[in-house]
Amino acid sequence: MNAPAIDQTKLDAFVTRAVGDLSSAYGGVLVSLGSKLGLYKAMSGAGPIGAAELATRTGCAERYVREWLNAQAAGDYVGYHTDSDTYELSPEQALVLADEESPLFIPHAWQVPASMWFDEERTLEAFRTGKGVAWGDHDGRLQCGVAAFYRNGYRASLVPEWLPALEGVVEQLEAGTIVADVGCGHGHSTVLMAQAFPRSRFHGFDGHAASIDAARHNAAAAGVAERASFEVARAVDYPDGQYGLICFFDCLHDMGDPVAAARYAARVLAPGGTVMLVEPFAQDRVEHNLSPVSRMYYAASTTICCAHAISEGGELVLGAQAGEARLAEVFRKAGVSHFRRAAETPFNLILEACR
């Protein structure tokens, strides 16, 4: 059989794209280094700065700093001034790279692919055997990276935008109700709600003991430990509190039996209560999810989300690009009649379910 003809233009374009992706992966390592070493922070608001001065400000070796700066300039992550041999971080770049309170701050996210590489042997075995990989069996950078990355997005949107999009929920929270945050991780979402609604009581549940320890520490540091408690529990056996609000933040798709989790939530929900489901943004069909954001979600889903669901038995492995229709079907099977999209962002669907 004759080999297929090669379209040189298509080949060149694809090689360019593949090399660009490889360059981005290399650059991600330097983004993480720059954040941890304080290089971006030292550049923020400083105007043009030379490599030697930046090295002095950060206590780093000048030769390493210069090479790092050149890589940043080559990737357009900082500007380079030829005449003065200086580098500059723009205000826009600072929001993404230096401001740890910004909802756009991205350096922590690079811990996730770092953990994916570290866990490559586990993933290879999972592919070959069909077995799962539990959340807690991954390299610790996964849990820390996910928690830190989502924290700022939740801080920007959860209280001012997402909760008000739910019918009557803010009024209940202001009056005082009981809230379950299922799959709470490090508890950032729980803490944010506890800070905003002091008359309500919040209970975070997660099957990963180390994350629960971190959540308790975060609640204490935020001064809300008296109204935000945390306990190791699965999505089908946390205490029945007859909750006014049950939240699943970016976690239902990770569960081995999401229908059972939704059914249990419906059982422990108080009359008139609401389930808030926050999931990665996705359309319902693969051909509508062919984007850079979806590529990122599919990649994480391959090694993390699907792997954990399979480790829990894999009754229904949704993956991180489940889409609204499949999620609605989960709650329909759980006996929940009301399900709607309350809000959306480029990264998340915010869905409401009620009995």
| CATH number, residue 321 | 3.40.50.150
> What pLDDT, on a 0 to 100 scale, did the predictor assign at position 1?
66
> What pLDDT, on a 0 to 100 scale, did the predictor assign at position 170?
98
Cα 1 to chain centroid distance, Å, stands at: 47
Tell whether 167 and 291 lie within a shared domain.
yes
Task: Report residue 330 as tokens.
Answer: 């989960």
Tell whether 90 and 225 lie within a shared domain.
no
The rounded distance, in Å, linking the Cα atoms of 330 and 324 is 10
Residue 12 covered by a domain: no
21 burial via Cβ count (<10 Å: 0-12, 13-18, 19+): exposed
For 94, the domain range is 26-99
Average pLDDT per block of 10 residues along the chain, 355 residues long:
88 97 96 98 98 98 98 98 98 97 94 96 97 95 91 94 98 98 97 98 97 97 98 97 97 97 97 97 97 96 97 96 97 95 96 94
Residue 1 covered by a domain: no
The rounded distance, in Å, linking the Cα atoms of 350 and 159 is 13
Tell whether 196 and 128 lie within a shared domain.
yes
Residue 120 covered by a domain: yes
Q: How many structural domains are present in the chain?
A: 2
Tell whether 115 and 95 lie within a shared domain.
no
Q: Is 344 helix (H, G, I), strand (E, B) or coil?
A: strand
Q: Which residues 6+ apart lie within 8 Å of 26 measured at CB? A: 71
pLDDT tens for each residue of 188-234: 999 999 999 999 999 999 999 999 999 999 999 999 999 999 999 99
Tell whether 60 and 142 lie within a shared domain.
no
208: left (phi over 0), alpha (psi -120 to 50) or beta: beta
**Which CATH number belongs to the domain containing residue 72 in this structure?**
1.10.10.10
> What pLDDT, on a 0 to 100 scale, did the predictor assign at position 148?
87
Residue 105 covered by a domain: no
Question: What is the DSSP-derived secondary structure letter of residue 305?
Answer: I
The rounded distance, in Å, linking the Cα atoms of 68 and 42 is 14
Indicate the residue among 56, 76, 99 that finishes a domain.
99
Q: Is residue 343 within 8 Å of 350, Cβ to Cβ?
A: yes
Tell whether 163 and 237 lie within a shared domain.
yes
Residue 44 covered by a domain: yes
